[in-house]
């Protein structure tokens, strides 16, 4: 089981993050990110404590992992998964919406039906096993840049406003363009890149589903203005200093992606179907509903107080 200290150490890599036009050297100490990174670290410590009941033996690996990542196969599994997600949500009063359990649920959904991905089935299975083994924090960018919503990717004025395939090589692909809305991506381990907006025939270059480490060369994260930076204390600002899940625009400046990290390639129909013909949409958004129930209880309690 991953500890909070191990998570924070993993963030000290070569990731390229920009805030107000300046590059951030270390998200674990920068005022905009240290609060949220410490909060996520506390989630890992909570899960690693056997007293909290969040550890299970993953049948895929035969090793301990976090129940929030499990593929539920029975009513008891559904209950265990729900209780684990609720345990995390209660520790933050539901104020962390895009923690490791969110995209972790989508990946569990993909991995529960790997044959959907055809020739890339082994890739999704392998990466899901890595998530289980390393308790990875994966975030996603699945929305094109907000430019002209009446046009699809190939109809825009420039070819690579939305992320797409620039070149194909024997060992992988090179992608270029941008995608959003990467909530918490600056303090995560890997980025899932895809598109949930329906594409049309002719948009094949943009019909991608893949993962890249945040430290991948050429990946640049441009952050929205933070809420935490100018706050004098956690006591006076208990929410913004600890729970600011900063959104980013992910820019792919000719990023090389090995074939082993690709799940869907130039397939418009399969791109949208990945969320609904696998349990990904159900498992990922069950997490969202669980934490929103916890958040609603917090708001009700605050109002009653």
Question: Dihedral, CA atoms, 37, 42, 44, 50, nearest 10 degrees?
Answer: 180
Q: pLDDT-derived band of residue 146, with 50, 70 and 90 as boundaries?
A: confident
Give the residue ranges of DSSP H helices in 31-71.
34-48
Q: How many CB atoms lie within 10 A of CB 149?
A: 8
Angle between helices 75-91 and 280-304 (to 10 degrees): 40
Q: Is 234 in contact with 35 (CB distance < 8 Å)?
A: yes
Query: CA–CA separation, 304 vs 174, rounded Å?
Result: 54
For position 135, what pLDDT does the model report? Answer: 97
Residue 263 predicted with pLDDT over 80:
yes
For position 149, what pLDDT does the model report? Answer: 74
**Partner residues linked to 302 by β-bridges:** none
Q: pLDDT-derived band of residue 279, with 50, 70 and 90 as boundaries?
A: very high
Query: CA–CA separation, 29 vs 51, rounded Å?
Result: 30
| 89-116 tens-digit pLDDT | 999 999 999 999 999 999 999 999 999 9
Q: Is 238 in contact with 248 (CB distance < 8 Å)?
A: no
Quick one: which of 36, 83, 115 has its CA closest to 286?
A: 83
122 CB-contact burial (10 Å; exposed 0-12 / middle 13-18 / buried 19+): exposed
Query: CA–CA separation, 64 vs 70, rounded Å?
Result: 11
Residue 152 predicted with pLDDT over 80:
no
| 50-88 tens-digit pLDDT | 999 999 999 999 999 999 999 999 999 999 999 999 999
Residue 171 predicted with pLDDT over 90:
yes
Q: Find the mean pLDDT for residues 157-184.
A: 94
pTM: 0.94
Q: Find the mean pLDDT for residues 167-175.
A: 97
| Side-chain-side CA neighbours of residue 8 (13 Å) | 18
Residue 155 predicted with pLDDT over 90:
no
| 16-43 tens-digit pLDDT | 999 999 999 999 999 999 999 999 999 9
> Which of 11-25, 73-87, 123-137, 228-242 shows the lowest mean pLDDT across its residues?
228-242
Residue 288 predicted with pLDDT over 90:
yes
Q: Find the mean pLDDT for residues 235-242.
A: 94
Query: CA–CA separation, 92 vs 101, rounded Å?
Result: 13
Quick one: which of 52, 50, 134, 59 has its CA closest to 100?
A: 134
């Amino acid at each position: 089981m991953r500890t909070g200290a191990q998570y924070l150490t993993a963030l000290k890599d070569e990731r390229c993050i920009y805030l107000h036009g300046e590059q951030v050297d270390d998200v674990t100490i920068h005022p905009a990110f240290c609060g949220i990174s410490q909060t996520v670290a506390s989630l890992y410590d909570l899960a690693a404590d056997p007293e909290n009941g969040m550890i299970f033996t993953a049948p895929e690996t035969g090793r301990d992992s976090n129940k929030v990542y499990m593929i539920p196969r029975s009513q008891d599994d559904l209950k265990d998964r729900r209780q684990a997600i609720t345990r995390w949500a209660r520790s933050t009063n539901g104020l962390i919406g895009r923690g490791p359990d969110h995209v972790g649920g989508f990946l569990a959904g993909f991995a529960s039906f790997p044959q959907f991905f055809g020739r890339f089935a082994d890739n999704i299975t392998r990466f899901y096993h890595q998530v289980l083994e390393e308790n990875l924090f994966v975030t996603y960018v699945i929305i094109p840049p907000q430019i002209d919503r009446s046009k699809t990717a190939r109809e825009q004025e420039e070819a690579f406003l939305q992320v797409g395939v620039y070149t194909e090589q024997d060992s992988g692909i090179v992608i270029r363009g941008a995608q959003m809305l990467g909530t918490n991506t600056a303090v995560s381990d890997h980025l899932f890149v895809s598109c949930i907006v329906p594409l049309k025939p002719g948009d094949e270059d943009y019909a991608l589903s893949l993962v890249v480490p945040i430290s991948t060369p050429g990946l640049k994260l441009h952050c929205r203005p933070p809420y935490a930076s100018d706050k004098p204390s956690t006591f006076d600002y208990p929410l913004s200093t600890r729970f600011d899940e900063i959104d980013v625009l992910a820019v792919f400046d000719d990023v090389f992606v090995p074939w082993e990290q690709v799940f869907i390639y130039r397939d418009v129909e399969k791109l949208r179907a990945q969320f609904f013909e696998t349990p990904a949409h159900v498992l990922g958004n069950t997490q969202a509903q669980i934490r929103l129930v916890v958040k609603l209880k917090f708001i009700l309690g605050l109002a009653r107080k």
